[in-house]
Amino acid sequence: MSAPRIVVCGGGLAGIAAACEAVGLGAQVTLVERRPFLGGRAFSFTDEEGRQLDNGQHVFLGCCPAYVRLMRLLGTDGHLHRQPLLRIPVLGSDGTTALLAATSRLPSPLHLTKALATYSHLSLRERAAVARAMSKLGTLGPRRRARLDGMAFSDWLADNGQSEDAIERFWDLVVLPTCNDRSHRVSAALAAFVFTEGMLSSPTASAVGWSRVPLSQLVEPAVERFLTARGSRVLRGQAVIEAGPGGVRLGDGTELGADGVILALPAERTRQVASAALPEDPGLGHSPIVNVHLFHDRRILEDPFVAVLDSPLQWVFDRRQMSGAPGEPHVVVSISGAHAEMGVPRAELAESMADELARVIPAAREAKLRGWAVVKEARATFAPAPGQAARRPGPRTALERVALAGAWTATGWPATMEGAIRSGIRAAREVMGDAPPGTSIRPAISSRA
C-alpha cells in the first residue's frame, strides 16, 4: 500500500510538528511555507551589523514536553537549556530584588511556599492572600476552570481577595509573558490554566528554558533533513493560495494532489485559502510583542534574566549569558501586550529602554550603548481576551481529511510554541485517521510523551 500523501500548509512550529507526526504515522509529506525560511513566528534573522537576532525572546517551561520532544526528534535539543527549578530575580522600583524560586524537595504546591513567603515586593497580608488564591486555582479542575473563560482574570483575582498591587507585582508578572497581556484583558480560564499547569502541576513545571542558539538554528536545516530522509520534502518561498480535500494550489499555479491537507496557517490566511474549512472569522484579534535588543560595551546583568516591576522593561534577558558563548554583550528587553509601544518610533524606544535600564540596574549606568535593534510583532499572538475559548476551533473541519492547526486553535494553551506543536500533532492524527503507523520513524513525537 502506498503512503498517504499529506500536504502541510505553513512551516511554523504547528506545521513542522504536523509534518513530523504525519511522517511518523506513515505519510509522505510536502511541507509548504510561504516565506524563504521555516519557524513561523519563532525565527531569527541577520541584522545590518551581521548579528543573528531572534524576532523575540522565546522561553518555554518545564510543563512544555512536546516542544522538547520535537527538538529531540529533529536532533537540536542539545541547543536547549533549562533551569533545574524556577528561579526568577524580580527587581522592585525601590532597588530591592526578591527571588521567586521553587524548592525541590517539597511536593507541589509546597515547592512554592518559600518563594511566596519571602516575596518582599508584597506585604505579608498580600502574600498570604496570593497563597490562598493559588491553592484555590489548584483545586479548580479543568471543567470549573473552563467556566471562567468569559471573565477577566483581574476580576477573578479581585473576587478572591487580591489587591491591585498583588495583581501588578505578582500575578501580572506571570500572566503578561505567558498570555501576552495584563490580567484585565486576559480570560480567567486561560490564566488559571497557566498557573495550574505552569506552576502547580509539579515542582519542575515552572522551570524556565530557552534556546542557546538563534531560533532558526533549531529548525534549519534540521526539519528538511528529517523529512527528506523519510521520503518527504519542504517547499519554501511558495504560498498556498487554495486548499481543499484533493490538495492545494500554489502561487505559481502548481497543483499538489493530496490524500489529506493540514492548514497550519494564521486564522486569516486559513479563511483566504480554504473558506469552507473556517467559514466564520473566529474574531480572536491579536496582541503585540516588542523586543528591544541593546548592545552595551560591557555586561550589565548578573543573572541570565530578570523581571522588573513598575517599569516598562517588564523582562530583560542577557542573551550572551543565555547562549553560554563568548561575544558582544547583548540584552533584550521583551515587552508583552505592547499596545502602547507599537506606535513609538524604534529609535525612541531603544533610547527610553536604555535609559530605564540605567535607572534600575546600577551596572548599566557605567555602560555605553553601542547599538540597538527593535522588532515589533503586531500579530505576535492571538488576543487572550475573555471569551477566547469559544472562538478557537478544533482540528476537524467540514472538509474531509482537511484539518486545522496553529497556536490559535483550541488547544487550551495560550499562544505558545507548546500549544502550536500540540495542535500540529493533533491535526496530523486527524487527517491520518486510522492509518497504520509507518515504519520510517518510530515512535512518532506524540508517542514519545
Ligand X SMILES: Cc1cc2nc3c(=O)[nH]c(=O)nc-3n(C[C@H](O)[C@H](O)[C@H](O)COP(=O)(O)OP(=O)(O)OC[C@H]3O[C@@H](n4cnc5c(N)ncnc54)[C@H](O)[C@@H]3O)c2cc1C
Work out which of 5, 7, 26, 41 binds ligand X, going by CB under 6 A. Answer: 41
Q: Are strands 44-46 and 240-244 parallel, antiparallel or unpaired?
A: unpaired
Q: Which of 3, 24, 31, 33 binds ligand X (CB under 6 A)?
A: 33
Which of 60, 119 has the CB closer to ligand X?
60
Min CB(423)–ligand X separation in Å:
7
Our CB check for ligand X shows the closer of 191 and 380 to be 380
> Least distance to ligand X from the beta carbon of 180, Å?
8
Residue 327 · residue 298 · CB < 8 Å: no
286 vs 359 by CB, closer to ligand X: 286
Of these, 7, 166, 207, 264, which contacts ligand X (CB under 6 A)?
264
Q: Do the Cβ atoms of 59 and 83 come closer than 8 Å? A: no
Under rule CB under 6 A, residue 273 binds ligand X: yes
Question: Which amino acid, 212?
Answer: R
Among 5, 34, 69, 296, indicate the residue that binds ligand X (CB under 6 A). 34
Q: How far is the CB of 238 from ligand X (least distance, A)?
A: 7
Cβ nearer to ligand X, comparing 6 with 129: 6
Q: Could you say which of 6, 8, 10, 438 contacts ligand X (CB under 6 A)?
A: 10
DSSP 8-state symbol, 294:
E
Written as nine digits, the cell of 374 is 527593535
x/- string (CB under 6 A) for ligand X, residues 406-425? xx-------xxxx-x-----
Closest distance between ligand X and the C-beta of residue 218, in Å?
Answer: 11
Per the CB < 8 A criterion, the answer to whether 203 and 106 are in contact is yes
Q: How far is the CB of 53 from ligand X (least distance, A)?
A: 11
59 lines the binding site for ligand X (CB under 6 A): yes
- Contact between 14 and ligand X by CB under 6 A: the answer reads yes
Place of cell 518510530: 442
Say whether residue 63 binds ligand X (CB under 6 A). Answer: no
Using the rule CB under 6 A, is 58 a contact of ligand X?
Answer: yes
232 binds ligand X (CB under 6 A): no
Instruction: Closer to ligand X by CB, 14 or 277: give it.
Output: 14
Cα 333 to Cα 48, 211, 416: the distances in Å are: 20, 16, 19
Q: Which helix H or strand E contains 429, and what residues bound it?
A: helix 417-432
How many alpha carbons lie under 13 Å from residue 147 in its C-beta half-sphere? 5
Which segment (32-40, 315-323, 361-369, 430-438) binds ligand X by CB under 6 A? Answer: 32-40
Which positions from 366 through 385 interact with ligand X, judged by CB under 6 A? Answer: 377, 380-381
Rg (CA), the chain: 22
Determine how many CB atoms are found less than 10 A away from the CB of residue 398: 9
Instruction: Give the binding-site size for ligand X (rule: CB under 6 A).
Output: 38
- State the minimum distance, in angstroms, from the CB of residue 415 to ligand X: 4
Q: How many CB atoms lie within 10 A of CB 283?
A: 12
Under rule CB under 6 A, residue 186 binds ligand X = no
Cell of 19: 509534518
- Three-class secondary structure of residue 68 per DSSP: helix
Q: Which three cell numbers stand for residue 300?
A: 550589565
Greatest CA separation found in the chain? 69
| Under rule CB under 6 A, residue 70 binds ligand X | no
CB of 8 to ligand X, least distance (A): 9
Q: Which is nearer to ligand X, 68 or 85 (CB)?
A: 68
Comparison of 109 and 406: residue with beta carbon closer to ligand X: 406
Is residue 74 close enough to count as binding ligand X by CB under 6 A? no
Helix or strand holding residue 417 (H, E): helix 417-432
Residue 402 sits in the site that holds ligand X (CB under 6 A):
no
The C-alpha atoms of residue 251 and residue 21 are separated, in whole angstroms, by: 26
> Is 8 or 166 the residue whose CB approaches ligand X more closely?
8
- Using CB under 6 A, which of 7, 29, 44, 60 touches ligand X? 60
For ligand X, the closer CB: 250 or 441: 250
Residues that bind ligand X (CB under 6 A): 9-15, 32-35, 40-42, 55-56, 58-60, 239-240, 264-266, 269, 273, 289, 291, 377, 380-381, 406-407, 415-418, 420
